[in-house]
Structure 1
Amino acid sequence: MAKQLASVLSYASWFRSARLGMSSFELLARGSGCFVHGDSEGASFAHAVVSAHVAAPQRFRHYFPQGWLQYVRDIDCRHVLEFRTLDGALRLAWPVHRIGPGGATLDRDVPAALEDADASLRIRNTHLLPSSTCVPATSAGAHQSGIAGAPSIAPVEVLVMATHQRTSADLQLPREHAPGDPSMVVFHPAGHDVAMLRIRDPQAMIASLGAEPHSYGMRISTEQCASPAPGVQVQLSGWEQSQGQGPEELDAFGKAALYYTERRAVLCDLHPSLRISTHLGEACAGRHMIESNERLEWGLCGAPVVEVSTLSSKAAANAEDADPRLIGILEGRCKWSSSHKADTDLGRFGILICARHIRALLLATRSRA
């Protein structure tokens, strides 16, 4: 009997740049993700939601200590959705820019699948390539920066400090696209740590998978906050990284060191320093704090969060809310500033990006299609 496919995707961003002396794709970051659809809509599987800092760590330099990220550009990055069974076995790894059948069914074959997807796309879209696809090094020392062969980085804690607040000015980065691969990632215009991946050929993806994956509905308007009141229980599901293993390592069975997990949590009052990127007068500050019953580990960034009360309604076949209601995705684990007293339980606190802003990003993505 076929093993059950997890409703949550694992997700990995990869990068390669001849400009930086790299000859092959290397893992950049790992996280979780999911498919979403709007009110009264069927799932199209044309868009997947992930954490923006996993898709593009170089855009969130204040989250990461690695200095070599300054040399990474959006144009260097590729994005892979990973469909896994609940025991972590890979069913299909799908580069979002892929056209036609393909992908990888073993973790070790993902770099080759990326090479294949790039080659087939270049052949298909040769007439669409820009006149110049080689970007000069940003500095004379770029090739001595150690970027080639540098260790991959896992999603890190969100640093909750007022001095690290982002503004719209920080987000005016040049639009860069992979050759023949325009706009595969759409970032939130207000700076929220959420990104939308555009799947170029969803029909081929589903045909290669051999099953229709899960998609979360968002029953909310763009003017309303999706998150319940503080004290309400929620559940997040995602892919954690195994302890003691790096995000790029494979285990003894050749699988990525990930395991599926579900965490119960409670909505908490929002910490004042989290009110960034939006005006205080808005209906929702965009971010909400949760306290998990267990420590949140690497890999859960981008995990879908649903209200626990809607889980029991699945038994009511005719109920309007038979499916769990997506209220947001996990942005990351909190890490207080040095002014706060150290607490061993701080790893249980996380930040939730409200589905209101995910829906707004979905609408913006469609308008650019």
Structure 2
Amino acid sequence: MGEAVTTGAADFTLAARIAGLGVSEILQIGARAAAMKRVGRPVIILGAGEPDFDTPEHVSAAATAAMAAGQTKYTALDGTPELKAAIAAKFRRENGLDYTTAEITVAAGAKQIIYNAMMASLNPGDEVVIPTPCWTTYSDIVRIADGVPVLVPCDAAAGFRLRADQLRAVITPRTRWLMMNSPSNPSGAAYGAADYRPLLDVLLDAPQVWLLADDMYEHIVYGNFRFVTPAALEPRLRDRVLTVNGVSKAYAMTGWRIGYAGGPEPLIRAIAVVQSQSTSCPSSISQAAALAALDGPQDFLKDRAESFRIRRDAVVTALNAIDGIACRVPEGAFYTFASCEGMIGRITPEGQRIGSDRDFCGWLLDHAHVATVPGAAFGLSRYFRISYATSMAELDEALDRIARACATLRNE
């Protein structure tokens, strides 16, 4: 039975599938920080995973041209033929993957593709292995689809990466999927070929387990790290891999809501069934913009990644200079996931004891006016996430505030 909720007009019964879920903690923190800003508090928000760059001009121009040409009607259910062809070309050009257009799906964001895939494939009690820390949406989608998320902690000592022995230990006859995200939100950790290889060997021995590879941050990697996607690394798994990507992060198109994926045709057809009864086709204008993004110039991607690299280095250096905080250098994405272990148990000037990472982040917001996200929101406590997808001026000010606030904490 669902949970009865009393309202002003009538009793509303909440569906059991979402009774234990809530709005994303990241969004809650962002909303609270925004409310503080509206009343005049000088809050700096380092919680949102959204590039501060504008959408490239040629992409916006393509959307304008599409509207002028009357491309404002429904499109094919899961992507226009032109966009699917561009996605197939992208997979061949950048990833060494050969998908037909029948093996490609397009949706209103990568989140919808993951939702569609879980709804299309999970039966009640099916298990999905998710290394943590992980994007908060993964486990909630699994629960909504009546699956069971199996969370496997991967801390900083392990580079926030899943090990083969951990994976092998949690696989059961009910395991249906392994979800991987590289580079990762929230840790920025990434899996190179040598990191993936032992995990793929485990999957070769577990034919009931499929792999969802979330490659959303593919183009935001640093130094000598070389991005690789699992289906290209191990062709024998190709028919059990859904490769998910999108235009949101690399092309600064978060609000356009276009994600895409390549995978075996039976799964893609099943995903289309789910989409047909939910949103139907993605926005026609957004699809035209995504086509321009994938087919257009790509040279600016390296420049933007270098800008993020400069910010990453500044944030990591500043955090590691604070007594009680330790921050690993991430390989990609635009997040740091620093340990606040050394802050737990300290006393604030107001006499409050910091008992958890949630306490720490809440105190930073209230007293330093800096919004960060506790690691508990991502399934791994005693850490906190900073998004450095904002200006250096804001980052410098925020990090100075954090350092000054932490200096006021005292040990018991």
Is the helix fraction higher in 1 or 2?
2
TM range (shorter): under 0.3
Is the strand fraction higher in 1 or 2?
1
Query: What is the TM-score normalised by the length of structure 2?
Result: 0.23
Larger Rg: 2
Query: What is the TM-score normalised by the length of structure 1?
Result: 0.25
